[in-house]
């Protein structure tokens, strides 16, 4: 994505790259971003409240979740490569 520099606020407002609040294009862009994030960031943390005796116990639990998320992501990417996808759910054609 290119970086654009502006000299004033007026230049920013005149730039057609911004979408107006409430416009259908804005909602489509937001949906696209959220769909991309859902494909890329498949992290899952079990619901609920967890109590820990100390910070070390909490860190161990968080590391187990991180490891499980990492392994799940690796499995998804491997499956995508095996199916001819790019790892993000897009065809490599």
Tens-digit pLDDT profile for residues 23-40 = 898 999 999 999 888 877
Q: How far apart are CA 58 and CA 76, in angstroms?
A: 27
Please report whether residue 4 resides in a domain: no
pLDDT of residue 88: 54
Please report whether residue 55 resides in a domain: yes
Q: Which two tokens stand for residue 4?
A: 């654009």
pLDDT at residue 91 tops 70: no
Please report whether residue 91 resides in a domain: no
Q: How far apart are CA 82 and CA 88, in angstroms?
A: 13
pLDDT of residue 80: 81
Mean pLDDT of all residues in 55-60: 96
Please report whether residue 1 resides in a domain: no
Please report whether residue 36 resides in a domain: yes
The burial class, CB within 10 Å (0-12 / 13-18 / 19+), for 61 is middle
Please report whether residue 14 resides in a domain: no
Average pLDDT value over all residues in the chain: 83
Domain coverage including residue 62: 19-82
Q: How far apart are CA 72 and CA 60, in angstroms?
A: 18
Quote the number of domains for the chain. 1
Please report whether residue 8 resides in a domain: no
pLDDT at residue 59 tops 90: yes
């Amino acid at each position: 994505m290119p970086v654009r520099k502006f000299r004033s606020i007026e230049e920013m407002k005149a730039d057609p790259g911004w979408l107006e609040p409430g416009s259908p294009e804005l909602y489509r862009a937001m949906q696209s971003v959220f769909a991309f994030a859902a494909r890329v960031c498949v992290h899952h943390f079990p619901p609920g409240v967890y109590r820990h005796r100390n910070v070390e116990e909490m860190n161990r639990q968080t590391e187990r979740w991180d490891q499980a998320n990492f392994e799940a992501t690796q499995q998804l990417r491997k499956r995508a490569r095996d199916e001819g996808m790019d790892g993000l759910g897009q065809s490599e054609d």
